[in-house]
Amino acid sequence: MNEKELEILHLLEQNARMDIKTIAKLIDQTEEEVEMMLKKLEENKVIVTYATVVDWSKVNNHDGVTAMIDVKVTPQRGVGFDEVAERIHRFPEVKALYLVSGTYDLQVVIEGKTMSEIASFVSGKLSALDSVISTTTHFRLKTYKHDGVVFGDDDEDHRMMVSP
């Protein structure tokens, strides 16, 4: 990966809607060059998708609950954690799944409509998997920062209008 591609990734990570013309100017390349690099990054799945960070707490009548679940599992011979991870991430409720070091093995992020919906997923589906030994569920109460973006309006410019 060259430096310009890295620059593109950092720019798009901040703003996925940035247009090619602007990117080209910022990184001092032609629009065609940027298009080529983007195509390559997309084809190689380096750019996985173009998503939007939404502050759902500002959306009326959006009742949703997010939980982070720490899961302890027995690794399987030959495949380690991959097989059980795959079984877990196929559930559409699962928003994110990570293999982590420490007391637990997997961290599962679940989104549901209600707490009881999540409770039934944990007891009915997740815990029911053979290799799952234990689960600890944490409900998310408030989002302060997500994917590097601070939620709330603290980006005011306090500088004087004109200065030497």
Partner 1 sequence: MNTSSTQQHRLSETVQQLKPSGIRRFFDLASTMDNVISLGVGEPDFVTPWNVREASIVSMERGFTSYTANAGLIELRRAVSYYLENSFGVSYHPESDIVITVGASEGIDAAFRAIINPGDEVIVAEPCFVSYAPIITMAGGVPVPLETTKKHDFKINAEDLEGLITSKTKAVLLSYPNNPTGAHMSKEELEPVVKVIKDYDLLAVSDEIYAELSYDYEHASLPAFPGMLERTILISGFSKAFAMTGWRVGYVCGPKDIMAAVLKIHQYTMMCASTSAQFGALEALKNGRADVEKMVASYRQRRNYLVKTFAEMGLECHTPLGAFYAFPTIEKLGMDAETFAEAFLTEEQVAVVPGTVFGSGGEGHVRCSYATSLESLVEAMERFKRFMDRHG
Applying CB under 8 A, the residues found at the interface with partner 1 are 7, 10-11, 22, 25-28, 157, 159-164
Nearer to partner 1, 58 or 145 (CB): 145
Beta strands in 34-153 (DSSP E): 65-73, 94-99, 106-112, 132-139, 145-146, 149-150
Q: Taking the complex as a whole, how short is the minimal distance between the CB of residue 162 and partner 1, in angstroms?
A: 4
Q: Taking the complex as a whole, how short is the minimal distance between the CB of residue 95 and partner 1, in angstroms?
A: 28
The pair of structure tokens assigned to 163 is 């200065």
CA angle 78, 81, 87 (to 5 degrees): 110
Nearer to partner 1, 25 or 140 (CB): 25
Nearer to partner 1, 92 or 144 (CB): 144
User: What span, in angstroms and rounded, lies between the C-alpha atoms of 143 and 131?
Assistant: 32
Q: DSSP secondary-structure letter at 76?
A: B
Q: Taking the complex as a whole, how short is the minimal distance between the CB of residue 82 and partner 1, in angstroms?
A: 33
How many CB atoms sit inside 10 A of residue 37's CB? 20
Nearest Cα to Cα of residue 71 among 137, 123, 119, 125:
137
Nearer to partner 1, 19 or 42 (CB): 19
Q: Taking the complex as a whole, how short is the minimal distance between the CB of residue 150 and partner 1, in angstroms?
A: 11
